[in-house]
Structure 1
C-alpha cells in the first residue's frame, strides 16, 4: 500500500467522524487517495510505554474515501485514545487532525438507561489540534442531572446507571489526601431507586486551617446491577458531547468562614468540591 505524498501531508491528514448513541464511531478520511489502516492508541501515563493499540480496517465508501468503523465491541479502556493513519505496516504512523465531528446523537445520552458496563466515547480535539477519543468504562455511574447553588450550599440531582440505591444509602464526600476523612449526606431517593438528590452544606467542608485548600470527591453508596454487591460509585457527568468539562462548566463559588468554596468537574468529568483558603 502507498500513500499519495500530497495527501499524506500534515495539512491533509484529516478525518471526519460521526458518533452514534450506542457508542459506534465512523471515521471518513478526507484525503481520497489515502490508504492504510486507522490506529487508535491509548495514551500512556507520562514516562510509561504504550500498551494498548486498536486497529481498524477501512473500506472505500461510495465517494471513494476510506471509511473505518469503531464498533461497540471491544470496549475501549478508560482514557484518551489518539487517532493515527498507518499507511503501511512498516511506515511511520501519522497522527490525524479532525475534520467535521457530528456528535449530535450524544446530546440525549442522559435520557437513556445505561446498563452495566457503562461505556462512553466522545471524539474531541486535543490542545495541539489533533483528533482523539475520550473513553469512560465503568461498572456503574451516577450521572449529574442538575446542580443548584446557593451562598451556603449546593443541591445535586443525579441518576444511577448500572446500579440502584442501597438500603441506607449515603453520599460520601471524601477528602482527597485526607487519610480517610469523610462527610456523609443522606440522599433523597426517587421511587425507582435510581434517581436521587442531596444537599451539601459548605460549612461542613471548610477546615480550621488558616491557609491551604481541601478537595472533596463525591461518591454514592449503591448496589451494582452486575454483581449485586454494594459499592461506591463516583458522581459526575459523562452523557453528552463534552470530553473536557472542567474549563467549560464553571459553577458559582461561595465564601464561607474565609474560604472560597466551589463545586467543579475534574479532568475526568467527575464532581468534586474545592474549599480554598489561600
Structure 2
C-alpha cells in the first residue's frame, strides 16, 4: 500500500536553500503529518518558469520536477544539480504530491555563501547560475542564467571624462586569445544603428575598457537614451552581453547604484550613469539634468 499524500495544509510550507559553487541548489522542507508521507512516490519540487502555462507533458521546457526524498527528522530534500539545464528566466518554486494542485513555497533559510565572489574554473560548457530570492509577495523563486561565453562585470568607475569598467571572461577555450583585439560595444536602444566602441585592455581573462561621455552624448537629443554594453571578440564569434551574475544578489538594479555624472552635451546639459537592468546586464543611461531649483 502506498504512503498517503503529503499533509501540507492551507498555509504554504517553506524551504531552506543551500547553494554550491558549481551552480547547484539543495532544497530542504518540513513534512507535516506522518513520517511515511515523505516517501510518497509522487512528491516533487516543481520549478515553473514565470509566464508559462502548467506543463502538459513530461519534459516541458518550462517546468522541471525534482523528486523529494526523506532526509531525516521529518524533512524532505530535493536537489537541482548544476548539470540539469534550467533556461534563463525566473522560476517559481512549488511543492506537489498526487492529484493536489502544487503549492507555492515560502523562502526559509538560505545559505548562499558559496556564491559570493564566485570565480568559475576553466571550461567551455555553459555557466549555470541560480539564485533563490523572495518575490514581492513573499514567495520563493529562482533567477536562472545559462551563458557561454560569459563576460562578468566587475568594478565600474564613474570618472570625470567617462566610465571605466572592469570584467572577466569565462567559458571560452583561451580567454587571452579571445580578448586580443576585443572591443566593448555600446548599443543605443533608441536607434540600433548607433554603436559606440571602446578597445579592451586584457590581462589573461580579465579586461578593462573606457567609454567617454563625449561618445555617448554625441547623438543625444534630449530625453532618455539607454546604451547596452556588449563584449565583441574575434571575427566569427558571437558578441557577449556584459552582466554581473556571479554573486548572491538576484536583482542588482536597486542594490548596485552609481552616481549620475553631469556632462555639458552639445544639445543640452546631460547626466550619465551606469546601471544594471532587471536581468543584471550592464547598461548606461543618458538623461536630462534636472533644473536647479530657485533659491527661496
TM-score, structure 2 as length reference: 0.83
Q: Are positions 1:187 and 2:200 aligned together?
A: yes
2:292 matched residue in structure 1? none
Q: 1:202 & 1:49 partners in 2: Cα distance?
A: 47
Note the alpha carbon deviations across 1:105-164, whole angstroms, 9 max, x for none.
111313644643111111111111111111101121111121122133111111100133
State whether residues 69 and 77 of structure 2, in contact with CA within 8 Å, keep that contact through their aligned partners in structure 1. yes
State the superposition RMSD in angstroms: 2.1
The 1:111/1:39 distance shift into structure 2, 3 A limit, reads: closer
The 1:106/1:114 distance shift into structure 2, 3 A limit, reads: farther
Q: 2:10 & 2:90 partners in 1: Cα distance?
A: 24
How far the C-alpha of 1:32 sits from its partner, in A, is: 4.0
2:6 matched residue in structure 1? 3
Note the alpha carbon deviations across 1:32-68, whole angstroms, 9 max, x for none.
43752110001127xx776611001111112221111
The 1:147/1:76 distance shift into structure 2, 3 A limit, reads: same
SS in 2 for 1:110: coil
Q: Which moved more, 1:201-210 or 1:20-29?
A: 201-210
1:29 matched residue in structure 2? 29
2:58 matched residue in structure 1? none
The 1:237/1:162 distance shift into structure 2, 3 A limit, reads: same
Q: Which moved more, 1:262-271 or 1:175-184?
A: 175-184
Residues 35-74 of structure 1: pairs in structure 2 closer than 5 A = 35=38, 36-44=43-51, 52-74=62-84
The 1:177/1:116 distance shift into structure 2, 3 A limit, reads: farther
State whether residues 179 and 200 of structure 2, in contact with CA within 8 Å, keep that contact through their aligned partners in structure 1. no
Unaligned ranges ≥5, structure 2? 56-60, 290-296
Q: 1:176 & 1:117 partners in 2: Cα distance?
A: 27
Residues 137-176 of structure 1: pairs in structure 2 closer than 5 A = 137-163=146-172, 164=175, 165-176=178-189
The 1:31/1:207 distance shift into structure 2, 3 A limit, reads: farther
TM-score, structure 1 as length reference: 0.88
The runs of at least 4 consecutive aligned structure 1 residues that moved more than 4 Å come to 48-51, 111-114, 207-210
How far the C-alpha of 1:213 sits from its partner, in A, is: 1.1
The correspondence for 2:273, drawn from 262, 268, 272, is 262
1:203 matched residue in structure 2? 214
The structure with the larger Rg is 2
Aligned length: 266
Q: 2:219 & 2:246 partners in 1: Cα distance?
A: 37
Q: 1:70 & 1:229 partners in 2: Cα distance?
A: 34
Q: 2:29 & 2:54 partners in 1: Cα distance?
A: 28
1:82 matched residue in structure 2? 92
The 1:217/1:49 distance shift into structure 2, 3 A limit, reads: farther
